[in-house]
Structure 1
Amino acid sequence: MGTVRTVQRGGSRFYVHPERPEIKVPGVTSVVGMLPKPFLMYWAAKMTAELAVDSLPFVAQMAERDRQGAIDYLKGAARRYTRIRAEIGSQAHDLFERMIRGEAVGRVHPDLEPYRRNFAEFLAAVNPELVGAEDVAWSDTHEYAGSFDAMLRVWLDDKNRPMPDRSGTPVLLIADWKTSKDIHAEVALQMAAYAYADRIIRPDGSSTPMPEFDGAAVLHITPDGWAFKPVCIEREIYEFFLSLRRVFTWDHDVSKTVIGRAIAQSSGRLVTGTQRRAR
């Protein structure tokens, strides 16, 4: 059995079946990406405007030499910011996985040190048991897949507060690390999709049924602090995700087939006799 590969198509990520490479299913984040995000338009405009105002002399000099270059520089403000944040997020996720697996982590890059410190605080305060990490959730029934951060067992008291001495009630949680500025409600759709998938495909290619989770939680961790928050993954939430899965099929497949080739059309612009004589 092989590991699960991913490919990019049409701006979306697809997971390749480890045994039947002709089968490719969309990733959970690409499906959730079907949600409308009108705020992104205003955010991108704000990023461009702030860059222009903060670097007016530089942009003016660039525009004198290369107008299109200046336009591209401003236009790429949001994309560059997103790329930088994604790189930091990926490095932080790698750090978290090594730490929760018990690896001794020495000095890290100064940009990552606040994340290392705050994740260490989380581990001390909650003391979770790692059940699995960075596995692929695969749904044969609804044809999607996605890599989730961790399965954790934590111990809670009668008020659902973590017991780091593990003296409370053990619960199995599907967990996600978020290093973004804010947590958005769509994380519930993402985590419900993982929890209700049919099976787990591990890095060595082996497959096991998805366990039944007691709940879900997201660790929101930033340079300023951390918070471990419960996330609702009731069946109703999963049904909303499945609706987006259908929208994904419409957007990537069906929508490209519904308008056929013209069965009648104009033969060209009419040329009058007067126009012909004037030639």
Structure 2
Amino acid sequence: MGIRTIQRSGSRFYFNEDFPEVKYPGVTSVVGMLPKPFLQYWAAGMVAELAVDSLEFIERMAERDRDGAISYLKGAATRYTKTRANVGSNAHDLFERMIRGERVGRVHPDMAPYQRHFAEFLDHVQPELVRAEDVAWSDEHEYAGSFDGILRLRLDDQGKPDPKGDPALVMADWKTSKNTYPDVALQMSAYAHAEHIIAPDGTRTDMPDFDGAVVLHITDEQAAFKPVRIDEADVFEHFLSLRHTFNWVNKVSGTVLGDPIWSTDGALVTGTQRRGK
């Protein structure tokens, strides 16, 4: 049987239908254990921008429904994230169809720039698709995750695309976020260092050895193809430390404090107080 996913407490878990008792956290959920103090400032900035750009609207809303206006402002970052996630999902679907050779006709105007940039990438880099949208599975370290693609490229001595260059097998990822961030290396190293690949029909094969990893960053304005480090010592080992942190947060931390072996039963009542009653 194939691999299924479930959401629990904000994290994604993968499980094989033949062994439903075995549930492994998703790679992105593990990478999410990285501290991200900048997010609070980003979220505050989103609220501030919305408030300043919509002063009259917010004022009219607050006059009718103060709590509703507060909720609307508080949800600014969440709404933006959801919108970007929808764009990313639609773009990934489009990219998979294109790299598999499916003829893609007219797309929604919002997707047209992504289609154009990806077509330029295919034309210039000429990647050979080896696998796409399969699951990387690690029993040794107990994690899993869906990767975007495994590609075979031809690269020159400087690592740039060259039809006459040497072949290289790479783990590939597509990003449609505002920028590419270092944690993509943790994500891709996890995929590349997993022991197995599981296809949609449940077929399990060994993960191959890679020559490296690449990320294709595409927005509606530009595209950039970048190499990504996935070496074991500096990158994968840090992912494994986050895997331990995930286990601490989701399993161990709730067990370390026992029931009180001594506590106050409430406010102290003195003998004088008792006799005075």
TM value normalised by structure 1: 0.95
1:210 matched to 2:203? The reply is no
Q: Distance in 1 between matches of 2:89 and 2:69?
A: 30
Letter in 2 for 1:207: R
Q: 1:58 to 1:276 in 2, by over 3 A?
A: farther
1:248 matched to 2:214? The reply is no
1:33 is matched with 32
Q: Distance in 2 between matches of 1:116 and 1:46?
A: 31
Q: Is the 8 A contact 1:3 1:18 kept in 2?
A: yes
Q: Distance in 2 between matches of 1:204 and 1:59?
A: 51
Letter in 2 for 1:230: P
1:221 matched to 2:212? The reply is no
Q: Distance in 2 between matches of 1:158 and 1:186?
A: 27
Q: Distance in 2 between matches of 1:259 and 1:57?
A: 50
Q: 1:169 to 1:64 in 2, by over 3 A?
A: same
Letter in 2 for 1:186: D
1:265 is matched with 263
Q: Distance in 2 between matches of 1:158 and 1:267?
A: 75
SS class of match (2:2) = coil
1:122 matched to 2:127? The reply is no
Q: Is the 8 A contact 1:135 1:149 kept in 2?
A: yes
2:180 is matched with 183
Q: Distance in 1 between matches of 2:273 and 2:121?
A: 81
2:153 is matched with 154
1:94 is matched with 93
Measure how far apart 1:270 and its partner are.
3.9
Deviations 1:84-133 (CA, angstroms, capped at 9, x unpaired): 00000000000000000001111100110000000000000000000000
Q: Distance in 2 between matches of 1:277 and 1:84?
A: 68
Letter in 2 for 1:269: A
Count the aligned residue pairs. 276
Q: Distance in 2 between matches of 1:263 and 1:240?
A: 38
Q: Distance in 2 between matches of 1:5 and 1:50?
A: 39
Q: Distance in 2 between matches of 1:50 and 1:221?
A: 25
Letter in 2 for 1:185: P
Q: Please list every run of at least 4 consecutive aligned residues from structure 1 whose deviation after the TM superposition is greater than 2 angstroms.
A: 269-279
SS class of match (1:15) = strand
Q: 1:197 to 1:71 in 2, by over 3 A?
A: same
Q: Distance in 2 between matches of 1:10 and 1:278?
A: 53
Deviations 1:130-162 (CA, angstroms, capped at 9, x unpaired): 000000000010000000000000111222211
Letter in 2 for 1:246: H
Q: Distance in 2 between matches of 1:64 and 1:207?
A: 60
Q: Is the 8 A contact 1:18 1:205 kept in 2?
A: no
Letter in 2 for 1:221: I
1:201 is matched with 198
Q: Distance in 1 between matches of 2:199 and 2:275?
A: 77
1:173 matched to 2:170? The reply is yes
Letter in 1 for 2:217: H
SS class of match (1:83) = helix
Q: Distance in 1 between matches of 2:273 and 2:27?
A: 60
Letter in 2 for 1:152: L
Q: 1:168 to 1:255 in 2, by over 3 A?
A: same
Identical columns (%): 66
1:108 is matched with 107
Measure how far apart 1:224 and its partner are.
1.0
